[in-house]
Amino acid sequence: MKRYELIVIGAGPAGLSAAIEAAKSGMEVIVFDENSRPGGQLFKQIHKFFGSKEHRAKVRGFKIGEELLEEAKKVKVKVVLSATVMGIFREKEITVMIDGEVNHFKADKIIVATGASENMVTFKGWTLPGVIGAGAAQTMMNLHGLRPGKKVLMLGSGNVGLVVSYQLKQAGCDVVAIIDAAPKIGGYGVHAAKVARLGVPFYLSNTIIEAQGEDCVNGVVIGEVDNKWNIIPGTEKHFDVDTICLAVGLSPMSQLLKAAGCDMEDSPKKGGLVPICDEYGETSIEGIFAAGDVSSIEEASSAMIEGRMAGAAAAKCAGYVEENSFIKRYHELEEALGQLRQGMFGPRSKGKDLKYTDEGIELSTSLLKNGYIDESEITNFPGVTINAKGIHPVIECTQNIPCNPCQDACINHCIKIGCNITSLPIVDENVKCTGCGMCVASCSGQAIFLVNETYEQGYATVTIPYEFLPLPKAGDMGIGLDRSGAEVCEVQVLEVRSAKPMDHTNLLTMKVPVDMAMKARFIKMKGAS
Amino acid sequence: MNGVIDMRIEEHPILEKIEKGKLVSFELDGKVMSGYEDEPIAVALRAAGVMAHRHTSKYDKPRGIFCAIGRCTDCVMVVDGKPNVRTCVTPLKEGMKVQTQYGVSAKK
């Protein structure tokens, strides 16, 4: 039986990070993963991540995955794929199924980073082909280049439902609606606004009554629910769809830890049954650690830091790292993790009905109901300036989310967030905007626009982030869409800028009637659906 | 085939060109189809417009792709005579014989 100093189970963001951290300090590390590719779900994440520089903010998930693999290779982490860990037994012995054979390994330390699985909900017809998990949609389109369907209904308005809806649109699918049984949108407002301005409608307090079809889905009926979650008769709506995507949360895959005998808790805040861990991620069994979604459902960015913590702690326990340098490293990681957990979507705010931002600004209620901010509320926020002379950024960032790449994007430092990473960005009107647009491309929430109300007599320009194909060209005519996706005016494309640092977020500048400067936020090209 | 053109993403705004293996042919219930080598069997089927992978034993209800990552086992089929093969994580190879699964076996 081969023995390793550290066995990591799961080669996703948490597992790879844990393995790298431990291997860096000299530990001999092996990682087992049941999938044929490493990276967990990172390679399906094609959107830019939130956070600050140290959290790899504004880098797309799959790029972070590539960087992790590169780093793992450099520090000689051994990753064994298509290897299913079946059990963790006494004295840290594990059994692994590889090529139809059961192999035994023994470890001094084990880090379990098995991630999470998607939840599902049942309704009439839910077993029909065409009802899929949102993760399945991501896998098909972002890994295999296949549209999961032509017309899709998304159930769930959390970040997964919102992000996958946007990705479906990028893949050229039609998203007929995003629905949620809850009365308000669950995910980031900026993610919702991104799909709302494409014209995707939100139906909140709605659920699926029935998926229709004999051999596969050809329609769906939704209905409004009352405050006891019962369908209100007469509110039914029908959509022609071939695909229904379920994005109704994730559950930790903690079975291995439970079977190993770790003390567990059923925690709704953490997403289900999770191991009870200390601050370093060590479970009740000495030398067995947990990191990432298996111990609490959070973002991939947090999972990577938790992985680093567990890796560092395992290395310390094994004698590879001195107490003092471990404490120093742990505090660095703790601070980075603490930042990510701040704000109105952090664990401390979960379930709270917040009314104001940390700055004391009233939160937009229209945003949480419709998916976009009502124009009357938009000027309440410090990043939104109107009628400035010449070109200037309009930052429609209205919620306290841990994210700050915009403040480093401006070479003249006209955007300020300050040391509190969740603060809303402020535009300094005394600093001249050069119109470079780096802030537009740096915003993972695509909430920054450049507006010039004094472009020419009667006309303004609006520069928007644009991540769709085909890319329009200067001179093309289109239709301006407002934040709700409604058509508001004719627009002309003046310029489309693409540059490597913008990483596929193109900057499209359109000429709009001057009274549309604060309305037009997207463009529909003539002839496009 | 219409489905092939419609469902494949030729060019993606973020991923640009999605790398594919060479085009290979395989059989579904005796019918010759094509897909790209080493992509999951399920992806080749979906691209060709095939939705039902199996029918349940008791009520003969159709089932297809659900999780696409090998967890839920809803997409299992008979592949080269072997039943219960998870088509969403099994790479497609030239000449594979794929059969719709009824219960735990192919139609006799």
Q: Which helix (H) or strand (E) holds B15?
A: none
Residue A352 has pLDDT above 60, yes or no: yes
CB A373 within 8 A of CB A189: yes
- Whole-angstrom Cα distance, residue A450 to residue A521? 10
CB contact under 8 A, A132 and B66: yes
Is B15 part of the contact surface with chain A (CB cutoff 8 Å)? yes
- What is the reported pLDDT for A198? 98
CB burial class (10 A; 0-12, 13-18, 19+) of residue A442? buried
Query: In chain A, what are the domain boundaries?
Result: 2-117+250-340, 120-246, 373-525
Average pLDDT over residues A177-188: 97
Q: Kindly state whether B60 is in contact with chain A, defined as any CB-CB distance less than 8 angstroms.
A: no
At B3, is the pLDDT very low, low, confident or very high (cuts 50, 70, 90)? very low
Chain A residues within an 8 Å CB radius of B43:
140, 144, 146
Tokens 């076996």 found at: B105
Percent of chain A with pLDDT over 70: 99
Distance of alpha carbon A454 from alpha carbon A442, whole angstroms: 25
CA A448 from centroid of its chain's CA atoms? 18
Nearest CA in chain A to B91: A36
A135 to chain B, any CB pair closer than 8 A? The answer is yes
pLDDT in tens, A124-181: 999 999 999 999 999 999 999 999 999 999 999 999 999 999 999 999 999 999 999 9
Joined tokens for residue A32: 């087992």
**Which CATH number fits the domain A2-117+250-340, given the four candidates 3.40.1030.10, 2.40.50.1020, 3.50.50.60, 3.90.1150.10?**
3.50.50.60
Average pLDDT value for chain B: 94
| Cα–Cα distance measured from residue A52 to residue A55, given in angstroms and rounded to the nearest whole number | 5
**Token pair belonging to A184:** 């308000």
The answer to whether B7 faces chain A, any CB pair under 8 Å, is: yes
pLDDT at B4: 47
* Architecture of domain A120-246 in this structure: 3-Layer(bba) Sandwich (3.50)
Q: Where are the domains of chain B?
A: 2-8+21-106
pLDDT at A497: 98
Give CA–CA dist A528/A150, Å, rounded. 15
Q: What confidence score (pLDDT) does residue A373 get?
A: 96
Q: How many CB atoms lie within 10 A of CB A136?
A: 28
pLDDT higher than 90, residue A386: no
Q: Report whether pLDDT(A528) > 70.
A: no
Instruction: Give B9's contacts in chain A (Cβ within 8 Å).
Output: 141, 145-147, 171-172
pTM exceeds 0.95, yes or no: yes
Asked if residue B2 has pLDDT above 60, the reply is no
CATH number, domain B2-8+21-106, options 1.10.3720.10, 3.10.20.440, 3.40.640.10, 3.30.479.30: 3.10.20.440
- Residue numbers of B between 78 and 97 with CB closer than 8 Å to A: 88-89, 91
- Sign (positive/negative) of CA torsion A264, A266, A271, A273? positive
Instruction: Collapse the DSSP code of A67 into the 3-class scheme (helix H, G, I; strand E, B; otherwise coil) and give the result.
Output: helix
- pLDDT mean over A386-406: 93
The mean pLDDT value for A407-415 works out to 93
Label residue A529 by pLDDT band (50, 70, 90): low
Write the pLDDT tens digit of every residue in B89-103. 999 999 999 999 999
What average pLDDT does the structure give for chain A? 96
What pLDDT, in 10s, does the model give residues B25-68?
999 999 999 999 999 999 999 999 999 999 999 999 999 999 99
Q: What is the mean pLDDT of residues A329-358?
A: 92
User: Which is nearest to B50 in space by CA: A12, A215, A467, A414?
Assistant: A215
Q: What is the pLDDT of residue B93?
A: 98
Looking at residues A335-346, what average pLDDT do you find? 93
- Considering only CA atoms, give the Rg of chain A: 24
At residue A1, does pLDDT exceed 90? no
Q: pLDDT tens digits for A24-82?
A: 999 999 999 999 999 999 999 999 999 998 899 999 999 999 999 999 999 999 999 99
Is A521:A476 a contact under the CB 8 Å cutoff?
no
A29-32 and A78-80 beta bridge pairing: parallel
